[in-house]
Structure 1
Amino acid sequence: MYTNYKNKRNMNTLLSRYFGVLLLVFLFTACEEKPVEPITITAEDFHTSVNNVTEVMIHDIFSPPQASRIYAYPNVAAYEILASKASDYNSLATQLTDFEAIPEPATTEHLNYELAALVAHMDLSRRLVFSEDMITPYRDSLYQLWNTKNPTEYTTSKTYGLAVAEHVAAWMDKDMYKETRTMPKFSVITDDPSRWQPTPPAYADGIEPHWNKIRPFVIDSAAQFKPVPPPAFSMDKSSDFYKELKEVYDISESITKQGDDAEEIAIAQFWDCNPYVSVTRGHLMFATKKITPGAHWIGIAKIASRNAGHDVMETMYTYTKTSIAIADAFISCWDEKYRSNLVRPETLINEHFNDNWQPILQTPPFPEYVSGHSVVSGAASEALTSIFGDGFSFVDDTELPYGLPVRSFSSFRAAASEAAVSRLYGGIHYRAAVDNGLVQGKNIGRFINASLKMKINNSQASN
């Protein structure tokens, strides 16, 4: 009996020790940190974020000037975070009007600068569009993925990215955009035949008549690169203005007779970039949506960055410099548009030559002089040339989603020249608006190249 009791007690002791060891193993295993994966952000992640912004802008039908603003601020925020740890890039603080240095991170331990930059880009993009719900699902899916991979790195980097976004947003909110939303519409009541009038089919009001009040990024003022005046309005057949008007009509008639195979029509359609084309079917009117001129050049920046094999820093450098040039180009261009307030070819051709005539492209709703696409293309091409050099050839597939074939260019400047003349082929601009607008844009781009010291020892810079 005593022996059985002793054996039983020994057995209980062994079992207790066994379960004790198991408990210790369990507790030790439970306390172990879960394995984490490093979070890698690539240039393609930023291309995707920019593409998402473009898609939302198409959906929301932002005007070309508005779209330029939406690209610029998120790019600046992302660039600033990346440049803060890059030895060969400078901050834009004090280089951009009224822009102060971004806040320092609370800690650099577990801080992923690329992730923080992408967070800032997505957050500011979300703030700048109407359809936030088109951006947040993608953002939230990334947040969930990053949190699963490495919650500490994700939390630290997200916190910093949002802090920088808040800093840039505070600067952004002082650029006069909100104030211009409450300013009066552009008055078109006039008997002056030289003044702009709304054009068919929508007869829309003039878009963004107060855009020259928006704070520029680099140029001193909206009027700094004021172009030479257009030819004096005159319907005298010997006047320069009449000759330019007749040229628009004659070119349109000539290329229309050639049919859809005309190269000029292909060029006009490729560079149309009208975000809102009104289509009338009987009593029904609807719109077809496309990218803006600025979005087309942002697409070219993406193509060039990919072709050059750019990393994250180089990619955001390209996007940021290009978008700043585009934004300032629109401010400068719109300053002239509502100063000269010149009538469009369609209005005069219908009145004096052919009341059934229609331009190949739909006339956009704002004054004629100067050509916005010419100014923007000139500025963007100079910014891109300063990064990649002259003679950088590329295939432009930006318009493929809209059913248009690719076009090839030997340089950014060659693309800009074609974009400018496309407005003449399309029947929506006179020759002076095209030529002088391109010069204006190139001057803006060269000024930005000379003023912004973004990349240290940029040997490719070419003015």
Structure 2
Amino acid sequence: MNSLFLNSTHIKSTMTRARAAHLLLLLALSLHLLAAPVTAQRPSSSLPTATPIDSSAEVQAKGEPDEGAKTAMAWFELSLELVTETPGFSPPVASRAFGYLGVTLYETVQPGMENHRSLAGQLNQLYRLPRTYDWAEYHWPTAANAALASVMRMLFPTAAEKHQQAIDALEQHFAERYQAEVEATTYRRSVAWGLTMADAIYTWSLGDGGHEGYLHNFTDDYVAPVGEGLWVPTPPEYSAALLPYWGKNRPFALVSGDAACPSALPPARS
């Protein structure tokens, strides 16, 4: 039965096998992004700068992530739970969500990382993005917390109530901590910046062809080509083709999805 609730044993098994690899990749990204100094790029070094959280030599020597990295890690851990338990989040749909979560995180904290460029103008149809104020202070873990919470709600609107509550709880957990540590105006500005970037990335995502893919994993109008070596339904469920038009979606960087296809195998040689 081709149910839109794709949390069958097979799909869950596939996602479980990929879980460790996804987590390692996302944690590496998170550590790289938020272990950097949390000072905004400014034209003048005479302006005051924010102080990194838990960036002491002792912590760094131990190889432990600072609080900013822990924020990102916690959000991506939650995203792994959501993609395995939210109806319709087949592997392609889950991968799309991971991609936009990653871009949201990077673009939110990029202004605070020296020698890092925005992806605007580099990714397909991402022509421009909001910018921070050069004169203003930002607390990047706060901005990341607000951005990831916001974009996660938009990417997982069909998540179960317990997962929606988990998003709220995680956001509040970090918000309470940072409100106690960060000057009030800087905190509010950082939250506003995170929400602004989340809205911008989500708006960009709407035009890629995969919006609400969790509702359209199977389609009645697809007729699979017939021939040797081509896809056919397989046991035990003999399901229809999963997202057969997904390859037409806008890639992040490639000209088209076809660019990733390998060339034909070379002829056999004796």
Contact residue 124 and residue 253 of structure 2 kept, 8 A: yes
Deviations 1:270-323 (A, max 9, x none): xxxxxxxxxxxxxxxxxxxxxxxxxxxxxxxxxxxxxxxxxxxxxxxxxxxxxx
- Structure whose alpha-carbon radius of gyration is higher: 1
| Aligned-residue CA RMSD (Å) | 3.1
Which one of the candidate residues 60, 70, 85 is aligned to 1:59?
85
Q: CA deviation at 1:188?
A: 5.5
C-alpha distance in 1, partners of 2:78/2:132?
Answer: 27
**Which residue of structure 1 aligns with residue 72 of structure 2?**
46
**Separation (CA, whole Å) in 1 of partners of 2:181 and 2:112:** 23
C-alpha deviation, 1:44, in angstroms: 2.0
The Cα shift of 1:49 comes to 1.1
TM-aligned CA deviation for residue 155 of structure 1? 1.5
Letter in 2 for 1:223: D
- Amino acid aligned to 1:48: A
Number of positions where the alignment pairs a residue of Structure 1 with one of Structure 2: 196
1:141 paired with 2:173, answer yes
Instruction: Provide closer, same or farther for how the CA distance between residues 107 and 159 of structure 1 changes in structure 2, counting only shifts above 3 A.
Output: farther
More helix, by proportion: 1
In the superposition, relative to structure 1, how do residues 190 and 152 fare at CA in structure 2: closer, same or farther (>3 Å)?
A: closer
- The answer to whether the 8 A contact 1:83-1:91 is kept is yes
Distance apart, 1:228 and its partner CA = 3.0
Q: Percent identity?
A: 26
Within 5 Å, which residues of 2 pair with 1:358-373?
Answer: none
TM-score, L = length of structure 1: 0.38
Matched, 1:226 2:261: yes
Partners of 1:78 and 1:190 in 2: CA distance: 40
- Residue 212 of structure 1 corresponds to 247
Distance 2:110 2:224 in 1: 50
Using the TM superposition, give the Cα deviation of residue 218 of structure 1 relative to its aligned residue in structure 2, in angstroms.
0.7
- For residue 377 of structure 1, what is the aligned residue in structure 2? none
Q: Once the 2 structures are TM-superposed, how far is the Cα of residue 85 of structure 1 from its aligned partner?
A: 2.8
**How far off its partner does 1:106 sit?**
5.4
Q: Which residue of 1 aligns with 2:57?
A: none
Deviations 1:60-79 (A, max 9, x none): 25212111111111211221
Q: 1:193 to 1:142 in 2, by over 3 A?
A: same
State the shift of 1:81 in Å: 2.7
Q: For 1:193-204, what aligned pairs fall within 5 Å after superposition?
A: 195-204=230-239
How far 1:125 moved relative to its partner?
2.1
Residue among 96, 115, 120 paired with 2:123: 96
Q: 1:108 & 1:71 partners in 2: Cα distance?
A: 32
Question: For the residues of structure 2 that align with 1:127 and 1:177, how far apart are their CA atoms?
Answer: 14
How far apart are 1:230 and its partner, in Å?
Answer: 7.0
CA separation in 1, counterparts of 2:204 and 2:186?
A: 28
Q: Is the 8 A contact 1:126 1:136 kept in 2?
A: no
Structure 2 SS opposite 1:135: helix
Specify which structure has the bigger relative contact order, considering alpha-carbon pairs within 8 angstroms and separated by 6 or more residues. Answer: 2
- Please tell me whether the aligned partners of residues 104 and 197 of structure 2 are also in contact (alpha carbons under 8 angstroms): yes
- 1:55 and 1:70 map into 2 onto residues whose CA distance is 12
Residue 165 to residue 193, structure 1, CA distance change in 2 (3 Å): same
| Secondary structure of 1:224 counterpart | helix
Q: How far apart, CA to CA, are the structure 2 residues paired with 1:49 and 1:105?
A: 23
Query: How high is the TM-score relative to the length of structure 2?
Result: 0.62
